Amino acid sequence: MSAASTNKTNAKSGLRTLKPGEILFNDGEKANSLYIIQNGQLRLFKPKGKGFIEIAVLRAGEVIGEMAYFDDDGGGKRSCSASAMVSSEVIEISFTAFAKTMSGLNPWFKTIINTLANRLRATNSRVKELESNSATVNYGTGKHSGYEFFKSNDIIKILGTLFLVFKTHGEDHSNGVALHRKTLDLYSKEIYGIIESKLDEMAIILEDLGHLSYDNDKNGHPNVWVLRSLEEIRGLFIFYNTEKYLTDDKKLKIGTKCQTFLEHIWQKLKSQPNTEAAMTEVVVSDLIEAWKEKGLVIGLESLDDARVFGIVGEVIVQDEGSLSLEVNYHKLKKQLPNIQFMNRVLEANKQKSATA
Round to whole Å and give the CA distance between 349 and 148: 6
What gap in Å lies between CA 81 and CA 43, rounded to an integer?
8
Q: Residue 345 burial (CB < 10 Å; 0-12/13-18/19+)?
A: buried
Residue in 152, 43, 335 with CA at minimum distance from that of residue 160: 152
Specify whether the CB–CB gap between 351 and 21 falls below 8 A: yes
Give residue 321's pLDDT: 77
Secondary structure percentages of the chain, helix, strand, coil, to 5: 45, 25, 30
Q: What is the pLDDT of residue 287?
A: 93
Residue 274 region, left (φ>0) first, then alpha (ψ -120 to 50), else beta? Answer: left
* pLDDT reading at 331 higher than 60: yes
pTM: 0.71
Amino acid 119: pLDDT:
67
pLDDT tens, residue by residue, 288-300: 999 999 999 999 9
Whether 71 and 28 have beta carbons less than 8 Å apart is answered as no
> How far apart are alpha carbons 88 and 139 in whole angstroms?
33
Judge contact between 46 and 80, C-beta under 8 A. yes
Cα torsion 332, 334, 337, 342: sign: negative
Is the pLDDT confidence value at 306 over 70?
A: yes
Percentage, residues of the chain above pLDDT 70:
82
Structural domains in the chain, sorted by start: 4-130 (2.60.120.10), 152-249 (1.10.10.10), 256-342 (1.10.10)
CA distance 12 to 244: 50
- Radius of gyration (Cα) for the chain, nearest Å? 25
Separation of alpha carbons 62 and 73, rounded Å: 25
Give the C-alpha separation, 63 to 308, whole Å.
51
The length of the chain is 356
H-helix segments, 91-151: 95-103, 107-130
How far is 108 from 112, CA to CA, in rounded Å?
A: 6
Question: 123 burial class (0-12, 13-18, 19+ CB within 10 angstroms)?
Answer: exposed
Q: Is the pLDDT of residue 198 over 60?
A: yes
Least confident of 146-160, 223-237, 268-282, 308-322: 268-282
Sign of dihedral through CA atoms 337, 343, 346, 347?
Answer: negative
**DSSP state, residue 210:** T
